[in-house]
Each structure stands twice: as structure tokens, then as C-alpha cells.
Amino acid sequence: MGLLRPRKQILGQDLAGEIETTGKDVKKFRKGDKVYAATTDFGAHAEYKCLPSSGPIAIMPANISYAEAASIPTGGYNALHFLRKANIKEGQKVLVNGAGGAIGVMAIQLAKYFGAHVTGVDSTEKLDMLRSIGADRVVDFRKEDFTKTGETYDVIFDIAGLSPYSRSVSCLTQNGFYLLGNPRLLPILRGLWTSMTSSKKVVFEFADPKPENLDFLGELIDAGKVKPVIDRTYPLEQMAEAHTYVETGRKNGSVVTTLSNAKRAIAQSRLSE
């Protein structure tokens, strides 16, 4: 993110691992605790990472691995944030566009948990995975444009950010929500106007990474209501290959990199969701 060269030298946004040591005033965690976390300044692609105990860090669910835990934080709390903004009710229809990435797989499962009928939109190779995590209906965007079918939805969660704005908003019910998970300037400006001049609401604010959201996600995972989805894992030495694969857009859920000399896993930074 620097002007002439990378300002952040160590990437990596999500991680899972074991607490090595704590500051003298930390009461919430202790040495040896197994945790998962999202960083606010990157740096997770390293053997050690120092984090504030008040930040988005929590005891990881007991029934998953370090690699699975590392795949959850950013995708999970962003999906939870946006879906809560829509105040989903039992039986409502929710469409997730770009459902096969880290945010999308969490959104599908959380929307189902909230009682919605869920449609997932993504490429052919991801449709079976979307069905396996609970999508009631799947749409291959290469073969069908959901904005042209005449179907309406109470909530459209657009993570891909590639669908025409006007047609997408026209697919909402009268009091529907359009959630911009990958906001760009023009849709944000148009969204402000839509929210001011109609009964439809456009939401584009970024999530506040709170530890209680990771606690909530952990409870759902422990209860079997939500599960991580990992496409591939790579050793840290193959980081370039991992990024190259993510950039193809073919990944199902998350790609995770692992440290070979410790009981830790670190999730690849989100290149595109």
C-alpha cells in the first residue's frame, strides 16, 4: 500500500496459533492458549505476531484445526457484520453474489442459521461446495445472470462487486437490503442516493473487528452450525505459489499457509473476496 514500494513488508491478515507469552496486565489469555485472530496491521505471515488482547482475538473452537481456525476471522466477522445490518428474518430470501470466497462461505452458512432461504452465485467449479454448506439454490454466473431472471430478494450480499448496480437494486423487494461487501466509489455514491430516496437500503460500511464476534462464530462452529472451508494449504516456503493460486479466482473458501516448525497455521491475506 505504499506509493513507490510496499509499505507493509509482511502480509497476512488472519492467524491461528498458540500464545507464547503475555504482557503483565493481560488477564484474558495465558501462555499455551490456542487462539485465532485477525490482525489490523497485517504481519500474520510470520512465526510470531504481537497482538493487543482487546482486539479481534479469541480462544479458537475446540473441534477444528489451526488451519481451519486461521481461515475464519476476516471472512467470518465481515459476513456477520453485513448480515446483521440486514436484520434477516425467518423465511426471507437472501442472495450471496461471489459466494465461493472466504466471506461468501461464511455468509451462506450464517444466513441459513438466521433462517433465510439462500441462493449462492459463483462459478461452475464452486457450486457443489456451496450446496454442501447449505445453499438452497446455486447460480452459475457464467450461464445465468441473476439480475435478469425476474426473481426478487429481501437481501442481496454482493461480495464480487461486478453486477450492474441498477439491475441489482431492482431485484430487491420493497424494503430490501443491498450489502456492498466490495464497495467502490460510484456504487457507494449511488447507494447513498438509493437509501435516501427509496425504501431500499444500501449498506457499505466496513466491519469493526470485535472479539465478541469471533466468540459468537466460535460458538456456532462448536455447535456444528458453521464450518470452515479450505481449498488448499501451502507451506510458508511456497507463499508465492499460494498467492498465484488465489489470484486465479478459482479457490473454494480459503487458502491457508502453514508453519512447518510449530503448531501454528496462518491464513493467506485476502487478495480478493
**Residue 152 placed within a domain:** yes
161 and 90 inside one domain: yes
**Residue 47 placed within a domain:** yes
Q: Give Cα separations from 114 to 52, 106, 244 (angstroms).
A: 31, 12, 35
**Residue 118 placed within a domain:** yes
Measured in degrees and rounded to the nearest 5, phi and psi for residue 204 equal -140, 5
108 and 177 inside one domain: yes
Rounded Cα gap, residues 106 and 42, in angstroms: 21
Instruction: Find the domain containing 126 and state its range.
Output: 78-203
218 and 197 inside one domain: no
DSSP labels, 204-253: -PPP---HHHHHHHHHHHHTTS----EEEEEEGGGHHHHHHHHTTT--SS
| pTM of the predicted model over 0.95 | no
138 and 192 inside one domain: yes
The helix (run of H) or strand (run of E) holding residue 29 is none
146 and 82 inside one domain: yes
**Residue 166 placed within a domain:** yes
pLDDT, tens digit only, all 273 positions of the chain? 788 888 888 888 899 999 999 999 999 999 999 999 999 888 998 889 999 999 999 999 999 999 999 999 999 999 999 999 999 999 999 999 999 999 999 999 999 999 999 999 999 999 999 999 999 999 999 999 999 999 999 999 999 988 999 999 999 999 999 999 988 899 999 999 999 999 999 999 888 888 999 999 999 999 999 999 999 999 989 999 999 999 998 999 999 999 865 444 444 444 333
